[in-house]
Amino acid sequence: AWGAELSTDYHRRSKITASREGCVLLGTVLAVALPAAITGADNQQASLDLMATLLWFAIPISLLAALVVVPEPERLRPPVAWRAGLRLIARNRPLKLLMAAYLVNGIANGLPATLFLLFVAHVLEARAASGALLGIYFVAGIAALPLWIWLARRLSKHRAWSLSMLLVCAVFMWVPFLGAGDVIAFGVICLLSGLSLGADLALPASIQADVVDVDTAEGGGGRAGLFFALWNMATKLALALAVGIAFPLLDLAGFTPGGDNPPATLWMLTLLYGGLPVLFKLTAVLMVWRFPLDEARQTLLRQSTVSDH
């Protein structure tokens, strides 16, 4: 929410969210790689101790810097009563459309995230390669972020996000053809699908900031905090639904994590990992391809809000 209020510009918001999510991805990679590189990959306790020590210093310093340097945004509208606010949310079509697409896409992302280790261990039979494959995925996500921001400027944010989801669909359609030992082929899939990771993290959040402008223009009082609270609830709900879909179906198929599984059971694991997410992502693309809030409309909304102020 704080990032959404740092700029009112349609494209600058994408740069802000991309910078934030890029730092999150980079921090994730460094948090795993640096302590292990310094203390040794086999010394997990020393790695955790070093990570804790670094965080003790890094978090207060970065938080203090943000509080001192980042300005507080100007409130353009007075706060709105909660009942009137609920009515505004109920008739905010871009919000409902974006939240629905984000939830569906979140389920699509949550399924492979939940089943990744099981897929690598039982289908590819390459448990030791899990770390390297995840590293490829995250590094690709960081590297491709500037590309998606450039594309969002050329096409609009919702179209660029849609293309990133279609890229994942085109890549994941090959997952059912993988089997034991296909580590290199799966590494290519991790690389190509990882390219869309940055778009999935940065562009929907930037669009959400624009959706807040719809609420503000209609008298909502600038409720970015509330909107992003709903956003975070949708994020957690999507992951919960992904887990609630994946593991009961695996259980019905007779999957046992610690033992041998018949081909039919492994086929169910493969479909849940690489097949079902494609259907969810295609559904999300259909929802947002003609999203009603683009740069022109967002600019008009901000101008009307400022003129009323």
Residues 6+ away with beta carbon under 8 Å from 61: none
Higher-confidence residue of 236 and 33: namely: 236
| pTM > 0.75 | yes
What is the length of the chain?
Answer: 309
Q: Is the pLDDT of residue 228 over 70?
A: yes
Q: Is the pLDDT of residue 308 over 60?
A: no
**What are the tens digits of pLDDT across the range 258-289?**
888 999 999 999 999 999 999 999 999 999 99
- Residue-wise burial string across 105-122, b where 16 or more C-beta atoms lie within 10 A, e elsewhere: bbbbbbbbbbbbebbbeb
| Helix axis angle, 10-39 to 197-217, nearest 10° | 140
**What are the tens digits of pLDDT across the range 62-116?**
889 888 888 777 766 667 777 888 888 888 999 999 999 999 999 999 999 999 9
**What are the tens digits of pLDDT across the range 139-191?**
999 999 999 999 999 999 999 999 999 999 999 999 999 999 999 999 999 99
pLDDT at 260: 87
- Rounded CA-CA distance 295/78 in Å is 25
Residues 6+ away with beta carbon under 8 Å from 116: 130, 134, 273
Higher-confidence residue of 218 and 234: namely: 234
- Rounded CA-CA distance 73/225 in Å is 12
CATH number of the structural domain spanning residue 17: 1.20.1250.20
What domain count does the chain have?
1
- Domain hosting 144: range is 3-308
pLDDT at 81: 75
Range with top average pLDDT, 124-133, 186-195, 211-220 = 186-195
